[in-house]
C-alpha cells in the first residue's frame, strides 16, 4: 500500500514539474517543438535526397529553403489581399460606424443604457488598457517576438535535420539494450505518423482554401480569397479555429455593408465545408493515424493553451497523438494509450494508400 501511494505521489510530482518547466520554458521549448514537427515532416524527402548523393547539410538547407518559400508565399498572398482593404478603408469605416450606431440603439432599447453612457464605459475600458502600455509598442513587440520565433524555428529545423542521426543514436544509448529494437520502432513510428499528419493537414488546408474561396465568391464576399486563406489557416487550431475564421468573415462582410442574405450565405458555406471536411477530407486525406477521442482532444487543447497559448493549441493534437503512440507500444503505459485513443480503427489516408 505504501509503495502504491509513493508511486502515485512520484508520478504526480513528475507531472507537476513537467508542467512548470513547459510553462516557464515556453520561449525556448515552443519554437523547438514546432521545429521538431517540421523536421519530422522533412526527414523522408531529406533522406531520399541524401541517397542520391546530396550532402546532409545541402538536403537540410533545401528543406528549410522550401519552408521559407512557403511562408514568404503565404505572407505575400495575405499582404496582396490586405492591400484591397486599404483601398476600401473609407467605405469600411462608414459601414462600421453604421453598424456601431445600430448596436448602440439596440443596447439602448434592450438594456436601457443610453449612447453617452455606453461611450463613457468604452472610454474607461480603453483607459484601463492604456495603463498597460502603448498599443503601438505592444504591437511592435509582438511582431519582433514573432520574427525571432520564426528565425529560431528555421534554425532549429535545419540543425535537427542535420544532427538527426546523432539525436537518434543518443536516444538509443539511453534505452536499455534489451529494449532498443522497440525503441527504434517507436521513434520511427512517431516520426512517420507526425509527418503523415502534417502533410495531410497541409493538403486539407489547400483544399479548404479552394472551397471557401469559391463559396465566398459565389455569395459575393469582397476579398473572398483573403477570408478563405484566413479560414484555412485557422483550421490549424481544431474546433476554435474554424469558428474564429467564420466569425472574422461575418464581421468582414458586415463591415463591407453585406446584407443579411450574404451573411446567411457565409454561414451556410461554413456548414457545408465543415461537413465535407469532417466526413471526407479528414478521412481520405489526413487519415486517423493521430486517433484521439473527443474528451482528450478538448482537454489537450485547453491544457496546451494554458501553458503555451496559440502555439500550444496548434501543437496539441499531433503531440497528444505521439504520446498515444508511445503509450500503445509500451506495455505498462498501454492503459493510458487506451484512455487517450478512440474505438475507431486507424485508417491510412488516401494519399498514403496509393503509395
Q: Which of 174, 206, 240 is the last residue of a domain?
A: 174
The answer to whether residue 5 is domain-embedded is no
Range of the domain at 190: 185-355
Last residue of some domain: 125, 155, 174?
Answer: 174
Statement: residue 60 has pLDDT above 90: yes
* 156 and 226 belong to one structural domain: no
Confidence of residue 152 (pLDDT cuts 50, 70, 90): very high
Query: Which residue is listed with cell 493549441?
Result: 313
**pLDDT reported for residue 351:** 46
**Confidence at 49, pLDDT banded by 50, 70, 90:** very high
Of the candidates 100, 19, 33, the residue with the CA atom closest to the CA atom of residue 307: 19
Alpha-carbon gap, residue 214 to 219, rounded angstroms: 9
Q: Is residue 193 part of a domain?
A: yes
Q: What is the pLDDT of residue 90?
A: 58
- Helices and strands, counts by H and E, the chain: 15, 0
Query: Residue 18: inside a domain, yes or no?
Result: no
- Residue 10 domain flag: no
Query: Does residue 9 belong to any structural domain of this protein?
Result: no
The predicted model scores a pTM of: 0.74
Place 336 in a pLDDT band, splitting at 50, 70 and 90: confident
| pLDDT band for position 64 (cuts 50, 70, 90) | very high
267 occurs within a structural domain? yes
Q: Which of 174, 195, 214 is the last residue of a domain?
A: 174
The residues near 288 (Cβ < 8 Å, ≥ 6 apart) are 344, 345, 346, 347
Say whether both 233 and 280 belong to one domain.
yes
pLDDT confidence bin for 287, thresholds 50/70/90? low
Shared domain check, 65 and 139 = yes
Amino acid at each position: 500500500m505504501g509503495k502504491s501511494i509513493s508511486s502515485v505521489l512520484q508520478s504526480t510530482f513528475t507531472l507537476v514539474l513537467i508542467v512548470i518547466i513547459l510553462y516557464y520554458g515556453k520561449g525556448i521549448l515552443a519554437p523547438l517543438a514546432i521545429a521538431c514537427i517540421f523536421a519530422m515532416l522533412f526527414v523522408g524527402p531529406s533522406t531520399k535526397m541524401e541517397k542520391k548523393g546530396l550532402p546532409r547539410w545541402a538536403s537540410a538547407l533545401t528543406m528549410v529553403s522550401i519552408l521559407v518559400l512557403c511562408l514568404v508565399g503565404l505572407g505575400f498572398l495575405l499582404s496582396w489581399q490586405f492591400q484591397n482593404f486599404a483601398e476600401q478603408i473609407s467605405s469600411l469605416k462608414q459601414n462600421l460606424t453604421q453598424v456601431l450606431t445600430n448596436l448602440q440603439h439596440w443596447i439602448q432599447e434592450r438594456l436601457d443604457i443610453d449612447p453617452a453612457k455606453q461611450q463613457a464605459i468604452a472610454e474607461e475600458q480603453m483607459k484601463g488598457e492604456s495603463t498597460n502600455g502603448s498599443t503601438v509598442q505592444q504591437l511592435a513587440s509582438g511582431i519582433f517576438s514573432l520574427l525571432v520565433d520564426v528565425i529560431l524555428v528555421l534554425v532549429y529545423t535545419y540543425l535537427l535535420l542535420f544532427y538527426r542521426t546523432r539525436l537518434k543514436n543518443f536516444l538509443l544509448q539511453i534505452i536499455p539494450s534489451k529494449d532498443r529494437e522497440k525503441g527504434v520502432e517507436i521513434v520511427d513510428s512517431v516520426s512517420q505518423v507526425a509527418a503523415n499528419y502534417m502533410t495531410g493537414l497541409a493538403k486539407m488546408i489547400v483544399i479548404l482554401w479552394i472551397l471557401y474561396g469559391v463559396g465566398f465568391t459565389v455569395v459575393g464576399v469582397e476579398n473572398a480569397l483573403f477570408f478563405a486563406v484566413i479560414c484555412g489557416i485557422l483550421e490549424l487550431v481544431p474546433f476554435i479555429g474554424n469558428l474564429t475564421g467564420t466569425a472574422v468573415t461575418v464581421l468582414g462582410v458586415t463591415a463591407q455593408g453585406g446584407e443579411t442574405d450574404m451573411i446567411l450565405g457565409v454561414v451556410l458555406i461554413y456548414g457545408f465545408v465543415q461537413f465535407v471536411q469532417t466526413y471526407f477530407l479528414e478521412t481520405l486525406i489526413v487519415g486517423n493515424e493521430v486517433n484521439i477521442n473527443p474528451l482528450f482532444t478538448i482537454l489537450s487543447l485547453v491544457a496546451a493553451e494554458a501553458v503555451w497559448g496559440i502555439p500550444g493549441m496548434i501543437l496539441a493534437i499531433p503531440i497528444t497523438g505521439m504520446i498515444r503512440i508511445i503509450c500503445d507500444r509500451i506495455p505498462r503505459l498501454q492503459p493510458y494509450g487506451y484512455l487517450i485513443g478512440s474505438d475507431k480503427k486507424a485508417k491510412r489516408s488516401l494519399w498514403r494508400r496509393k503509395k
